[in-house]
A and B are shown apart, each in its own frame.
Chain A
Amino acid sequence: MDLKLLDAEPTEAERVVVDLFTGMGRDQLLPALHAVNDRVGWISQGALNHICRVLHVPPAEAYGVASFYSLFSLTERPAKVVHVCVDLACQVNGAKAVCDRLTDELGPAGAGSGWLRSPCLGVCEKAPAALAFEAGEVAKEQLLAPTHAGEVIAVAAAGPSRVDGERAEVPQAGAPGLRLLKRVGVVDPESLDDYRATGGYQALRTALLLGPAGVIREVSDAKLMGRGGAAFPTGRKWDATARQPVRPHYLVCNADESEPGTFKDRLLMEGDPFAVIESMTIAGFAAGCSKGYLYLRGEYPRALHLLRNAISKARERGFLGTNVMGHEGFSFDIEIRRGAGAYICGEETAIFNSIEGFRGEPRSKPPFPVEQGLFGKPTVVNNVETLVNVPVILTEGCEAYTRIGTEGSTGPKLFCLSGNVSRPGVYEVPFGTTLSELLDLAGGVPPGRELRAVLLGGAAGGFVRPDELDLPLTLEDARAAGTTLGSGVVLVLDDTADLGSFLLRIAAFFRDESCGQCVPCRIGTVRQEEALHRLVGKRPLSTSAADLQLLREVGQVMRDSSICGLGQTAWNAIESALDRLGYAEEATK
């Protein structure tokens, strides 16, 4: 294939960063785009041209890929920009007031005014949040959370002052009985020695003794279910992959964490990065993978820094690389891939396209990832939290593990508490804890307020009423109650929350994040948002009842006929607000 390139040359700075990719291929397209964005803050024609020349990618395709990600701009913009979160938890905590003042003082959101509206930044426990970015020889990122308009304005002018954020904190830090969070906020996340001194790498040693089949047996008997949202049995996934005769096999650790209200994986990666690396190594060993990709969402600078450090220290000390821990014949290494602002890339097949250098569009299943995944090879995809349960299983034994939680939902579970709650943060509890116990742990709604509703499971989840708080938090109870635990979101709304605006934000989120591949979701999410606007604003097309009917019909086709989980669940939370919280009645009054 001869490439026809545009008549545009890169600047010297662009050329230097792109030339580092010489000799590499298409799968480096996303990293190369990041390199240019980090250096100059946007992707010019000359830079894209040069990327295409070096990686041998047709320019139309590279343009299609670059324009897929919201962190990249294909038109010129200043090196400094602040991404201001306007998503669910921040909306409940004053994001609108922040944006109003920014609009007054800096002008409407846009690259020219130095600030952009952003979906959830994954720091909902410190809402409202913003992330400042400045391109340069060393790109700088600084998390502002909790923030206020004055700070955003100052940082928008001065640029970020640090490369990454503050130390990971969880409300339960150091409490006895913690398994997943035991090191978070307690053990130095940069030190491999401290990790080992607190039991690190014992599980990998056990795994190497057990052999791959033994590890899969333990994980299957522990009844570990995926924590990324779909709750698929992990042992089955590993077993199905391990049995594929085709080589190589790949492991993908899904750290894209972009469901609004979710921040548990960030805390794990920032607070206990070596555990993530060890867990990936065990999974790779069990499923016969020689390489693991850690797909990290683009807006997690501190996690990126700590994981890079953990990988290089592990490699230095023989915990990654050839013959891991001296185990003859087991070689495994990990590459970090940064996302670039696309919720859909957390979908388990979209993540493959993104890593391979294509648009992050989900693939049709079948074939399933365990048969044909990354680069067409058998692949295990697991969530971060799922993986860090594995060392717990191997060190405590699967029997002890199944005694945590309930019959159908074993083990400890992380929940992300945010919104109108006194002590927001990530909490670890056994499955089966009731929602009211969990809310008590987080101090309930602020004093003097009353609980209005809880959004369980995220934007793709559903609402729970104050009279339903005795719901045991298990996969089976949630299902029976017509809701889902999803990714562990527990977003609390009190009587001051504006439910209409909240629902509109959910609708806007799905419209913004649809990949656009299939009709029900691409157009349905737009029609859903339009109809909801009319309903909330009480400006019906004919009657509100008719708009409600329209919403239901659009919701149904999205659920029935969309390609992937995004479109299939885009109507869940809105439907549940209408029916479960009585918003249908309120809106048609």
Chain B
Amino acid sequence: MTIVEIGLPKRLVEFTLDGESVRVPEGATILDACTAVGKSIPTLCYGDTLKPANACRVCMVEVEGSRTLVPSCSRKVEPGMVVRTDSERTQHSRKLVLELLGSATDLSTTPHVDEWMSACGADPSRFGPDAETKLQPTTVDNPLYVRDYGKCIMCYKCVDACGDQWQNSFAISVAGRGFDAHISTEFATPLPDSACVYCGNCIEVCPTGALSFKREHDKREDGTWDESKQTRTTTVCTFCGVGCNLTLHVQDNEIVKVTSPHDSTVTHGNLCIKGRFGWQHVQNR
């Protein structure tokens, strides 16, 4: 029996996870429980600072008595639940979801996807050379960030970060339907004409690299992007008195991007244009 204690005293809920009895605080999701006992479940649309979108379906697990599989990132543990994360059905589902995604989108900059694919033997090329894809040219319409929607998996995170969950700018939305669904401003108007304020909070949450700093994008393009040579230093933004935490990613003595710690009680990973992009002057280019 594993007992997981997190934070304030809460009622514990007992359930069975892959044959083992586990207790978690009331309100925990199946994913929380898995993380606590050291079981890793792939996730893409789940965001630690966002409400679950339930869209990617890569985190599905089997719950006894349920007709379909359930998303572990949002389903709360209930007393007596019997959950399997490794059954044949869950593995089939995970493999197919990854294959479907990989057959339609460029996952080359999505972290962990290669490991997940090889772990379950996924082969996205199975659908043949004529399988319809979302590949498209990169959109570069402003000097700060690049949108490469051929890499977009429609996880809704950027829309949620830009909308009522954080930024309240509502510059982007999901448009179209079905396979044609895509992230867009109104009438696909260029970002500079839209409501975008370049807070970059959408880039912060994007799990695939579909949204990236112009600097990062350019360096990747010319082959000089090298994460092994980068250092990360967390500091406090000097522009105003709010005191947002910044993490500066530095390569070859040059700031190449700025993120913010998601567990920061000030920012929850969010910044404004000054903290996110206002570092050009530091290096005076």
Residues of chain A at the chain B interface (Cβ within 8 Å): 1, 3-4, 6-7, 45, 48, 58-64, 67-68, 70, 74, 342, 359, 364, 511-520, 522-527, 530-531, 541, 550, 553-554, 556-557, 559-563, 568
Contacts and interface: CB of A to CB of B under 8 A. Distances in A.
A74 B93 contact: no
Interface string B155-178: 000000001000010111111111
B68 A63 contact: no
B93 A61 contact: no
B180 A516 contact: yes
Contacts of B89: 560
B285 interface: no
Contact of A60 (B168, B170, B177): B170
B270 interface: no
B179 A522 contact: yes
Contacts of B195: 3-4, 58-60
Given A7-B193, A519-B101, A561-B93, 6 more contacts: A3-B195, A6-B187, A6-B189, A517-B154, A520-B57, A550-B126
B175 A557 contact: no
Interface in B60-105: 60, 68-69, 71, 74, 89, 92-93, 96-97, 100-101, 103-104
A512 B131 contact: no
B103 A523 contact: yes
Contacts of A359: 174
Contacts of B186: 6, 45, 48, 59-60, 62-63
Given A518-B54, A530-B127, A60 B194 contact: yes
Interface in B95-148: 96-97, 100-101, 103-104, 126-128, 130-132
7 contacts: A7-B193, A67-B175, A516-B178, A523-B101, A526-B131, A559-B68, A560-B89
A60 B184 contact: yes
B55 A511 contact: no
Nearest to A547: B128
B37 interface: no
B185 A519 contact: no
A541 B127 CA distance: 8
B96 A68 contact: no
B96 A516 contact: no
Given A6-B189, A61-B170, A519-B56, A568 B180 contact: no
Contact of A556 (B58, B92, B163): B92
B172 A60 contact: yes
B205 interface: no
Given A48-B186, A525-B178, A63 B168 contact: no
Contact of A523 (B130, B170, B175, B179): B179
B18 to A, nearest CB: 18
Nearest to A359: B174
Given A523-B103, A557-B92, A6 B193 contact: yes
Contacts of B154: 516-517, 519, 522
Nearest to B104: A523
Contacts of A527: 100, 103, 127, 131
B179 A1 contact: no
B68 A568 contact: yes
A520 B175 contact: no
A351 to B, nearest CB: 16
Contacts of B130: 530
B153 interface: yes
A526 B179 CA distance: 7
A557 B93 contact: yes
A63 B132 contact: no
B4 interface: no
B178 A514 contact: yes
A359 B178 CA distance: 12
